[in-house]
Structure 1
Amino acid sequence: MQTQCQIDSLQVIYQDEDLVAIHKPAALLVHRSPIDKHETQFAVQMTRDLINQEVFPVHRLDKATSGLLLFALNKDAARHLGEQFQTHTIQKTYHALVRGWTNDSGEIDKPLLYKKDKYGDRDKQEPSEAQEAFTAYRTLGQTTLDKPLGKFEQQRYSFLELKPKTGRKHQIRRHLNGISHPIIGDVSYGDRNHNHLFNDWRGYHRLYLAATSLTFSHPHTEQSMTIQAPLQNDFVQTLLALNLNCALNQIHD
């Protein structure tokens, strides 16, 4: 296991004979998609070229989300890891910067309607009822920003550690928006005014959500293992600008 304070590009974080874990930068697609026909770089191909070996995707990260992405290096490992993701036995940890001051901790237990992928799921039978969805969170830090917006002269923000127990599409983003604490930079579920404030102030056009840790059973040894990923540099610099230094030190505690 290897960790770093911050990172910018696609880099290998861990590799053995059965799997490889990388840091995926924000705005990089995992694989080709008809939705983004103009894109020419993809995590699957970049990882394959980097390690000179075929890789098998076993889960997804949204294009806008940065952080830990796991690939299998053979079909047996892909099957083993894929089953763990499907049965939600893999423990996933994310970190996010959100609008407002959240509680010290909380559990969001709110079913979500199925969201079909326009291309990948177009032939899939869509569930008629909302699906079970559960996300636990812990507040690592809170801060205020002295910038006027609307009728308020100061803005409040929180930095969260999140552990989704299920894997619904955009679950964390939808759950946080549902409790009125949308993620900064979320153009689909976030607050447009706060997004513009951060774009103008920081100059980073990104979603402040990162996948930072996975705990799972190794596909060959079946031993429990944890892989951790650092936050991307622009994410770190924004937290420092918000005086959330102490919160940063709690990541992976």
Structure 2
Amino acid sequence: MAVHKPSGMPVHRGGRESASCTALLQTLRDMLDRHVYPVHRLDRPTSGILLLALTPDAASHLGGQFRRHEVDKAYLALVRGYIPLRGVLSRFLRPEDKKNGLPRFSITRYHRAESVEIPVPMGRVSSRCYSLVELHPETGRSRQIRRHLKSFSHPIIGDTTYGDGRHNRFFREAFGCQRLMLAATRISFLHPHSGHRLHLSLPPSVDFCRVLVQLGMEAEGAQD
């Protein structure tokens, strides 16, 4: 099954931040009255498509596709600055949950979908520019997209860990943006039983698209 995870909802309980929050897995188990198995993850502040399995066999099959990089995923992100039209972000990333873990190679391909310049000064600059980017991670490291874009000097708007506090504050005050502007919009994988390739897609949620509209960017078919 695939669901649209909202921004701010943790996939499962764990850690101080999500201990008191409603977790997606528990919500789905209560709704379906059965166990569900996550086969990949989305960070708590990221919204979009999340794939789950209904049986252990399906979970094992789908998990193997993720490990072998046979699953294609696409994300949309609103970032600071005028990012180049297209490119590849790659670097070695150290596991965040292991103090002594070895760095692992990671790669994300991207292309710029749209950009906008707004006449609002910041410091010595008389205007500021933002880009809407589609990203395709080819590896699945922890917070890979967020860390890649930070290292490329184009952090995601609303990212309180890897972002730019001045721009985050501007978006909160000017546009009421209270979320990370990152959304998983497409996923393609082999069905665990039929073997047919499935292509699932959905537009970003309403709160994501509302910010784009206020910037004068295209935002069609928002999901509430």
Question: Does the TM-score normalized on the shorter chain lie above 0.5?
Answer: yes
Counterpart CA distance in 1 for 2:48 and 2:117 is 26
Pairing of 1:129-168 with structure 2 (within 5 A): 130-168=103-141
1:127 aligns with 2:108: no
Determine which of 204, 214, 217 is the counterpart of 1:231. 204
What TM-score do the two structures reach when normalised by structure 1? 0.83
Counterpart CA distance in 1 for 2:125 and 2:87 is 26
Q: Which amino acid aligns with 1:213?
A: R
Q: Which amino acid aligns with 1:100?
A: G
What TM-score do the two structures reach when normalised by structure 2? 0.94
Unaligned runs of 5+ in 2: none
CA deviation digits over 1:10-56, x for unaligned, max 9? xxxxxxxxxx1000110100001133255230110112223333211
Counterpart CA distance in 1 for 2:134 and 2:67 is 22
Moved more, 225-234 or 72-81: 225-234
Q: Which amino acid aligns with 1:239?
A: L
What secondary structure, in the 3-state scheme, does the structure 2 residue paired with 1:97 have? strand
Moved over 3 A (4+): none
Counterpart CA distance in 2 for 1:34 and 1:209 is 22
1:194 aligns with 2:167: yes
Unaligned runs of 5+ in 1: 1-19
Partner of 1:112: 93
CA deviation digits over 1:80-113, x for unaligned, max 9? 0111112221111100000000111011121212
Moved more, 189-198 or 48-57: 48-57
What secondary structure, in the 3-state scheme, does the structure 1 residue paired with 2:92 have? coil
Partner of 1:85: 66
Counterpart CA distance in 1 for 2:165 and 2:15 is 26
1:205 aligns with 2:205: no
Give aligned pairs, total.
Answer: 222
Return closer, same or farther for 1:47/1:200 CA change in 2, 3 Å cut-off.
same
Q: Which amino acid aligns with 2:33?
A: N
What secondary structure, in the 3-state scheme, does the structure 1 residue paired with 2:153 have? coil
Aligned-pair Cα RMSD in Å: 1.8
Partner of 2:14: 33
Return closer, same or farther for 1:43/1:148 CA change in 2, 3 Å cut-off.
same
Identify which of structures 1 and 2 has the higher relative contact order when contacts are C-alpha pairs closer than 8 Å and 6+ apart.
Answer: 1
